[in-house]
Amino acid sequence: MDFKPLVTLIAIVNPLAIVPFFMHYTQGFSRTQSRETIRVASFSVLCVISICAVFGLAVLGFFGISLASFQVGGGLLMLTSALSMINARTAEAAAHDDDVQAIDDTTKPADPSRHSVAVVPLTIPLLTGPATMSTVVIYAEQAESFWQHAALIGYGIIIAGLTFACFSAASGISRILGQTGINVMTRLMGLILAALSVEVIAKGLVQLFPALAG
């Protein structure tokens, strides 16, 4: 079984790096509200990955986009995310600071019952933004059997479980690692993601320009 999609998704989603955001957006929440936020965010991550795995290729076909072009574009997006992570910024959040700031203005912790932050901004765009979606679609096209497609959804379950675990242990993780530790983890995952994104771009370019294969 190929675990490369799982490693790539873990690197991009990187729920550990989103822990500070989770703590920020759930300030003032009761224990019940925090638990509900964790459950909804984890389930939403699974839904986004599953939908992209099942319907992503159909969407590309509808718009007449070749997978090779999508691989190059998605790979470049993954590489951009990796470079942001190497600078110790979350893969998805770095490209959406303005969006998150706009949302932040309407999600004040003083009245947590007014807004649900589990889906926006925690799931989209912080956990599963464009880089995650494009990655799932690319690997869905490479899947050659039903079981390989099912494995992508299984990986989504694993990512959702990691998200649940990281958010549930947010306070302890923050105390143990501190911001420096989280930054180190983010940079390490960024380096791994950069290597994986180069492979995706190379495969797409070879399909677009067969002469590159020699």
**Residue 30, Ramachandran bin (φ over 0: left; ψ between -120 and 50: alpha; else beta):** beta
**First CA to last CA distance, the chain:** 29
DSSP 29-59: --HHHHHHHHHHHHHHHHHHHHHHHHHHHHH
What's the structural domain count of the chain?
Answer: 1
User: In whole angstroms, what is the distance from residue 3 CA to residue 71 CA?
Assistant: 19
139 located within any domain: yes
- Write out pLDDT tens, residues 51-104: 999 999 898 889 998 888 888 988 898 888 788 878 866 545 554 554 545 545
Is residue 1 included in any domain, yes or no?
no
Residue 112 carries which side chain, given as an amino acid letter? P
Classify residue 6: in a domain, yes or no: no
Q: Which domain holds residue 170?
A: 12-213
Is 7 a member of any domain?
no
Residue 90 has what pLDDT?
56
pTM: 0.76
- Domain contains 5: no
